[in-house]
């Protein structure tokens, strides 16, 4: 498989200030970013920077956008891998693919973002049709993480934290949990999203008990519907005036 078939090209720039975090997560992420900005100075004192981060929790709560924001803050390229294309039924092929991805990120001193990390980092005790292959893959992951250069950030995301192999979990210096937003947090997010639209379109019912991604989809769908309805009404009025 061609390495470039595995990489999702994404040049979207996201500012960290545009995201909503718990105070605990925000503090940890800002510290990591500062460490990498001053990595050369810290090396002089044999101080190692944290560069292996695991983001876990509910889907749609900001794990992918967090990885993009970190890359933006550090002015690094981000290598995003679609893990569904990484898994191969051929013995040894998946490990080979994973190594190629890590090598690419290391060469570019990039941010390597692996989503749905449980697909390749699951426990070696898990039931699987090929236990031997999964053990070999887990061992490969451990070795690649251990030898990852400090100037390359590895950010992995999963919705299934408990399925990750414990030996792999120990490799991550930072593990951050992403919770579903409460009503107050969603209101702040809604205000951010609605700010860019005309005032008369902003007064819409708000939906709660959903993720940030679901809230964004809801707003965009609602706004498209309202804007199109206004345009169609305007066109009809213009047509009526022409006929008259």
225 with 163, same domain: the answer is: no
pTM of the model: 0.85
Residue ranges making up the domain that contains 168: 3-178
- Does 235 lie in the same domain as 198? yes
Q: Based on the fold, state whether residues 50 and 94 are members of the same structural domain.
A: yes
Q: Which two tokens stand for residue 242?
A: 């022409």
- Please identify which residue in the block is written with the tokens 């919705």: 159
**141, 90: one domain:** yes
Instruction: Report the CATH number that the domain containing residue 53 is assigned in CATH.
Output: 3.40.50.300
- Copy the structure tokens of residue 50: 């944290």
Over residues 176-203, the pLDDT tens digits come to: 999 999 999 999 999 999 999 999 999 9
Question: Tens digits of per-residue pLDDT, 142-157?
Answer: 999 999 999 999 999 9
Where are the extended beta strands (E) located within 37-186?
A: 52-57, 78-81, 111-114, 153-158, 174-178
Q: Where among 178, 208, 235 does a domain terminate?
A: 178
User: Averaged over 162-171, what is the pLDDT?
Assistant: 91
113 and 41 part of one domain: yes
Q: Are residues 119 and 197 in the same domain?
A: no
Answer with the one of 149, 178, 207 that is the final residue of a domain: 178
Report the candidate in 152, 148, 144 with the shortest Cα–Cα distance to residue 39. 152
**Do residue 194 and residue 88 come from a single domain?**
no
119 pLDDT band (50/70/90 cuts)? confident
Residues 91, 136: Cα–Cα separation, whole Å: 10
Q: Which of 118, 23, 26, 32 is nearest to 71 (CA)?
A: 32
pLDDT at 56: 95
Q: What is the largest CA-CA distance in the chain?
A: 82
Residue 218 predicted with pLDDT over 70: yes
The per-residue pLDDT for 102 is 93
Number of domains in the chain: 2
50 with 165, same domain: the answer is yes
Place of tokens 């909503």: 20
Do 166 and 218 belong to one domain?
no
Residues 91 and 206 in one domain: no
């Amino acid at each position: 498989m061609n390495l470039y078939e595995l990489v999702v090209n994404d040049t979207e720039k996201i500012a960290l200030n545009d995201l909503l975090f718990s105070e605990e997560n925000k503090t940890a992420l800002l510290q990591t970013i500062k460490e990498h900005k001053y990595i050369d100075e810290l090396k002089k004192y044999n101080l190692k920077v944290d560069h292996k981060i695991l983001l876990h929790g509910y889907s749609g709560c900001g794990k992918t956008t967090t990885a993009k924001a970190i890359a933006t803050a550090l002015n690094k390229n981000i290598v995003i891998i679609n893990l569904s294309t990484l898994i191969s039924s051929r013995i040894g092929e998946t490990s080979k693919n994973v190594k190629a991805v890590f090598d690419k990120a290391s060469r570019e001193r990039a941010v390597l973002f692996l989503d749905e990390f449980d697909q390749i980092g699951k426990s070696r005790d898990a039931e699987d049709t090929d236990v031997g292959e999964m053990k070999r893959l887990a061992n490969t992951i451990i070795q690649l993480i251990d030898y990852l250069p400090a100037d390359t950030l590895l950010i992995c995301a999963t919705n299934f934290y408990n399925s990750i192999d414990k030996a792999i979990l120990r490799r991550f210096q930072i593990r951050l949990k992403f919770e579903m937003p409460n009503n107050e947090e969603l209101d702040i997010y809604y205000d951010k999203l609605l700010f860019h639209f005309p005032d008369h379109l902003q007064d819409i019912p708000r939906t709660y008990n959903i993720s940030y991604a679901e809230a964004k989809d809801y707003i965009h769908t609602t706004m498209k519907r309202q804007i199109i309805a206004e345009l169609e009404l305007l066109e009809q009025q213009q047509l009526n005036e022409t006929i008259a």
